[in-house]
Every structure is written in C-alpha cells, then in structure tokens.
Amino acid sequence: MVIDDPSKFHLLTEDMKSDMLKAAAATVNVQAALTRKNAIEKLHQDFTLRNTFTEKSIGFDRAPAEATSFSEIESHVGARDRASYLERQETGGTHRASNGGQLSIPTTAARSGSSRNPVQKSMYRSKINKKIIKYNPYYKGTGKSALVSAAEAAYTQNKYLKYNKNIYRVTSFTKSSGHVKFNLEMIYFRGVTQTQTQATHWLTESMAKPAADAQSIFNSQMKKLERK
C-alpha cells in the first residue's frame, strides 16, 4: 500500500513505520556495498592496477540507521577525491597537463620494465626534475656537438637528458679514436599535450544489478526485522 502510495505512510502503526525505515536504510546500504564490490572487481578486470591505491579509494557512505523519513535515506558510492581520475574513466574525456604544456607519460623503463608496474619512486618527475640536463652549460657549441656534451654530462653525473622534449637516461657513453657512441633509454615521453579517454562506465555498470534487486533486498531486510 505504502509503496504504491507513499502518502499513506501515516496510516501504518509506529512499529511498522520504524521497521520500514530501518529496512529501507539497510537496503540502500546493501546496494552501496554490493556496488562497491562489483566496482572493484570490474576495475581489476578492465584496468591495469599497479598497486592497491585505486581499489582502496572506492568507498561508500552509509544511510543513517535511525532515519525518521524516507527522504533522509540515501547512500553514496564511488571514488574518493584522491582518485578523481576515475571520474574521467567513467564518463570519458580529455586529459591535459595541469600547466597546459606537454604531458609526461612514463615508459616501461620508468616502470621497472613492465607497464603493469608502478613508476619507480626514484623516477617520479618530482624526483628527477632537478637532475635533467637540457644542455651542458659549460659547453659553448651547438647542434650535434652540444647534444654529445649534454649526454656525456648526464652519463657521468648520473642525471637525465632532455632531448626533443622527451626525457632519457644515458645508459652508456664511450669515446674512441675521435668517435663518440652513447645509448639513450626513454624514461618519459612528452610528445603530446593531451590524451583522450574512452568512457568505461565502470561505476554505472557496477550499480545496475544492485539497483534492479532493490525490492528483493528490501523484502529480505523486512524479514530479518520480523524475526527479531
């Protein structure tokens, strides 16, 4: 009766009102918990999670157990502010560098050889920014000779080389009979100013079944109260 016409809620006994409110609060909390569980499973299926940060950033806020009206009953589920990047994964969109310049995209070399690994702490941009050599300030030449000098300085000083916008590690440097040879390993690719993210709807899809099961969850919660 009340489900079909909520205005008749006042006709119920006080005990029945209390039970329905408790069951409704429990229902949305169960829905939120199930949505969180589904979301974490989907993230593991569809994304490369390099640590537990993203998983631990998915949470939900519970509805109050002692609500006095149905309008007070609501629960929220999703990513916490610290994982705001998941909003773009849900809806899709453009990712741009915060300073409006080139994006710094770490390569597998910065991730210990595998795209599934997190960036090594020693290679965070914040860690290497002061160790990047654009050119050798003690060398007055230009062109290829300036590059060679900068590469030698990066190699001997255990620093990084910025060349054609990208960031490299100089893995070897040799001089022999007037010839110079050195090898570069790209650490950060900086060839684009933005990337496009396709919508995955990881949260929308995760809440679909808990939403569809609302009535059966509510019925189950009411039965639990009847047994008390």
> How far, in Å, are 79, 104, 147, 192, 194 from residue 100 at the CA level?
26, 12, 27, 11, 9
Residue 21 counted as domain residue: yes
14 and 82 share one domain = yes
97 assigned to some structural domain = no
Q: pLDDT class for 53, splitting at 50, 70, 90?
A: very high
Note whether 65 and 12 are same-domain residues.
yes
- Do 188 and 211 belong together in one domain? no
Residue 46 in any domain: the answer is: yes
Are 188 and 168 in contact, with CB atoms under 8 Å apart?
A: no
Specify if 214 maps to a domain: yes
Task: Tell me what pLDDT residue 3 has.
Answer: 60
Instruction: Kindly state whether residues 190 and 111 are assigned to the same domain.
Output: yes
Q: How far is it, in rounded angstroms, from Cα 71 to Cα 129?
A: 52
Contact 70, 6 (CB under 8 A): yes
Instruction: Quote the pLDDT of residue 196.
Output: 92
Could you tell me if residue 51 is inside a domain? yes
Report yes or no: 37 and 207 within 8 Å, Cβ to Cβ: no
SS3 112: coil
Residues 109 and 82 in one domain: no
Residue 204's H or E segment, with its range, is helix 202-212
Q: pLDDT at position 178, please?
A: 81
pTM > 0.85: no
State pLDDT tens for residues 164-180: 889 999 999 998 888 99
- pLDDT, tens only, 120-159: 999 999 999 999 998 765 666 667 888 898 999 999 999 9
pLDDT at 100: 76
Does 209 fall in a domain?
Answer: yes
> Do residues 79 and 149 share a domain?
no
Question: Are 190 and 152 in the same domain?
Answer: yes
Most confidently modeled of 6-20, 94-108, 207-221? 207-221
Are 112 and 138 in a shared domain? yes
Closest CA to 182 of 149, 215, 223, 141: 149
Residue 147 lies in a domain: yes
User: Are residue 188 and residue 126 in the same domain, yes or no?
Assistant: yes
C-alpha distances (whole Å) from 53 to each of 50, 80, 218 are 8, 11, 33
pLDDT score recorded for residue 12 = 64
What range does the domain containing 129 cover? 105-194
- Decide if 83 is inside a domain: yes
pLDDT band at 20 (very low <50, low <70, confident <90, very high): confident
**56 and 30 inside one domain:** yes
**Residues of the chain with pLDDT > 70: what percent?**
91
The pLDDT value recorded for residue 142 is 67
The total number of structural domains that make up the chain: 2
If asked whether residues 190 and 202 sit together in one domain, one would say no
24 plus 80 within the same structural domain? yes
